Structure 1
Amino acid sequence: MTAARIEENRSHPRLPDLLATYHLANQAEQDKAVATVAELPAVYRAEAEAEDPAAAFAADTVLLATPPGADEPAGCVVLKAPREGRAPEIKRLWVAPEARRKGLAKALMAEALRRAADSGVPAVRLTVWNWREEPLALYRGLGFEIVASWDDRPDLLCLERRLDLIERLDPDAVRAHAPAGLAELLVDAVDSGASVGFLAPLETAEAAAWWSRVAEEAAEGVRDVWAARAPDGRLTGVVTLVRAGTANGRHRGEIARLLVHRCARGRGLGYRLLATAEAHAAATGLSLLVLDTQTGSPAERLYRGAGWTAAGTIPDFAADPAGTLRATTLYYKQV
């Protein structure tokens, strides 16, 4: 499956049309239907008019999603800039009806959350009408929780999500986290059936020893390590990037050990970790990334959705944690 294309562009000519459709549908849902943009409340009309679509969001991040194979964006979302010390707010999530059920809303939310986390803010918030069951289910699946209201409009729910911080670990940090946080991530992955090079049960000491070796590779400049840290300080995910050691492969790297703890899955953290490693690879001169994963595993959906291409499948390549030989699919991505 080809991934949707996400771009930041508050001046895209398609944006006013998307926002107009959003606001007209929103008014109709509230029994305040109007027929044209000109009849919208002034604050909404300013967003949906084509004369200067960027002005309404001059300080904000506007993301657009284009479905695979399409030429024009069919979805949008706005990440508002933090104001008065409050957490940034996600607004105007909209996907055109003809482009729904293609993952655009989730891709837009994942990118908005990644950008918010990269900015260093501890949380993101949003509002949703209580009758909008499908968006509410999406937000809850991404880790948003209903909190005390900051908007007194009836039937409007206020939600917030605390953000995991992704940070690069230097060799000393890898060594420090090896006995506990990093070892726990590896043990959890094996316990949940992930084929990551170990058989079950994996002892914590063995997992910690593996991470200690990774620390040495990090010190040698062979491997880069990023970890996600929850607001309470726990490590919730990790990814590593291994650089090819041969003279003719210095343009190439491998994504290895992308792990998200079971308590943090389903919230876009794997996507954020992967995107962080990809961005660093491109910024440091790598142009090609490769990885392998167990065929049919949930990880395949992540990689395909992030724009990776399957190069082929090898039968009986590696044993799963229970010792059963499984096929592995090889992926690549040019960055």
Structure 2
Amino acid sequence: MNVMIEENRSHPRLPELLAAYHLINQAGKGTPVATAAGLPAAYRAETEDPAAAFVADTVLLATPPGGDLPAGCVVLKAPQEGRAPEIKRLWVAPEARRKGIAKALMTEALRRAAAAGASAVRLTVWNGREEPLALYRGLGFETVASWDDRPDLLCLQKPLGTADRVERLTAEEVRAHAPAGLAALLVDAVEGGASVGFLAPLETAEAAAWWTRVATETAEGARDVWAAHAPDGRLTGVVTLVRGSTANGRHRGEIARLLVRRDARGRGLGYRLLAAAEAHAAATGLSLLVLDTQTDSPAERLYRGAGWTAAGTIPDFAADPAGVPRPTTLYYKRLG
């Protein structure tokens, strides 16, 4: 017999399951309450009227083999502002655990997200929650840059369908992609307001010429390049690693030109590209990486979430694509 999954945000058992989830969660955060009536207003509203609280979302319940009532639940939130849908409120009653209910709920939520056309699904989990973390990683979730600044809260994401492929490019491949795919990534970044060394409007020919010079550096061993390839072959992201060239700086490298197409963001590509460059740097003997990025730019959340440390800010260091001087924050990360 299998776990029975049903979608029903109005099931009479759901308020009890949600209340149990929130009471345990509040205790884990160090702010315990005795009953659902003492929960913060937003959480209390979920337990009082789940149908209204999750009106736009998919609520799944699971009944164990031989059971009469649901013993677990999960919520697949509707995507907002172009972001991937988020899984919330995964809960299985203690007496029904070790029966595959949590995995069944997660599997069905992922199936429904894929069927709805989502390219990825995300979730958060408190660091140290070993059992749920093991479940999520077993299902293919990976840690990504944080979108929630609460301490000790991990943000995870799982690509759905055929994920974009990240691979290191040879010098010949950089040269081959320079006129179109790589140039398009650079033009897209500048059009989107990213401070990456160019002013707007950036012509495709100028962007292609820059990548052609990068191909020469790659052939000389001075720079490594990784690109993300969509299933249709289109380049969706790129990052480069510039190796230190001075006698006293060969232990370090610089992350430069981490770019993700605007229509491919929110799928963890930036984190995957950065991770590929970091792993290669460590494997080839580098012990320190540095980078700089425009202060208060979206990229800062990615770097902080990936374990980078801010070293300081320089005012008016570089102009944005419109030519306005902006502050730049310097970051570093020790490897190994």
TM over 0.5: yes
CA RMSD of aligned residues (A): 3.5
Change (3 A) 1:186 1:329: same
- Whole-Å separation in 1 of the counterparts to 2:280 and 2:103: 38
Which residue does 2:49 correspond to in 1? none
Which residue identity does 1:308 align to in structure 2? W
Which residue does 2:220 correspond to in 1? 220
Change (3 A) 1:238 1:26: same
Q: 1:78 aligns with which of 135, 159, 165?
A: 135
Question: 1:267 offset after TM fit, Å?
Answer: 1.2
**SS across alignment from 2:135:** strand
Question: 1:76 offset after TM fit, Å?
Answer: 1.2
- Whole-Å separation in 1 of the counterparts to 2:251 and 2:126: 29
Which residue does 1:188 correspond to in 2? 188
Per-residue CA distance 1:126-148 (angstroms, 9 max, x = gap): xxxxxxxxxxxxxxxxxxxxxxx
Per-residue CA distance 1:42-82 (angstroms, 9 max, x = gap): 445999xxxxxxxxxxxxxxxx9664xxx66585153688x
Q: Is the 8 A contact 1:75 1:105 kept in 2?
A: no
Question: 1:162 offset after TM fit, Å?
Answer: 2.5
Change (3 A) 1:333 1:46: closer
Which residue identity does 1:210 align to in structure 2? W
Which residue does 1:256 correspond to in 2? 256
Change (3 A) 1:80 1:195: closer
TM-score, scaled relative to structure 2: 0.61
Which residue identity does 2:310 align to in structure 1? A
- Whole-Å separation in 1 of the counterparts to 2:102 and 2:203: 60
Change (3 A) 1:198 1:41: closer
- Whole-Å separation in 1 of the counterparts to 2:306 and 2:164: 20
Q: Is the 8 A contact 2:103 2:135 kept in 1?
A: no
TM-score, scaled relative to structure 1: 0.61
**SS across alignment from 1:162:** coil
Which residue identity does 1:181 align to in structure 2? G
Which is greater in Rg?
2
Which residue identity does 1:280 align to in structure 2? H
Percent of aligned pairs with the same residue?
A: 65
Unaligned 5+ runs, structure 1: 1-17, 48-63, 82-88, 94-98, 114-123, 125-159
Which residue does 2:233 correspond to in 1? 233
- Whole-Å separation in 1 of the counterparts to 2:262 and 2:297: 15
Per-residue CA distance 1:266-316 (angstroms, 9 max, x = gap): 111101100110011011100100000000100001101111000000001
Question: 1:31 offset after TM fit, Å?
Answer: 4.4
- The residue correspondences of 1:1-335 to structure 2 (distance < 5 A) are 27=62, 31-33=69-71, 37-40=94-97, 42-44=99-101, 67=127, 73=130, 75-78=132-135, 89-90=139-140, 104=153, 106=155, 108-109=156-157, 113=158, 160-335=160-335
Which residue does 1:134 correspond to in 2? none
**SS across alignment from 1:185:** helix
**SS across alignment from 2:184:** helix
**SS across alignment from 1:248:** coil
Unaligned 5+ runs, structure 2: 1-20, 26-59, 73-91, 105-123
Q: Is the 8 A contact 1:66 1:74 kept in 2?
A: no
Change (3 A) 1:101 1:80: closer
Which residue does 2:17 correspond to in 1? none
- Whole-Å separation in 2 of the counterparts to 1:316 and 1:289: 23
Which residue does 2:9 correspond to in 1? none
Change (3 A) 1:32 1:75: closer
Per-residue CA distance 1:222-255 (angstroms, 9 max, x = gap): 0000000000100000000000001111110000
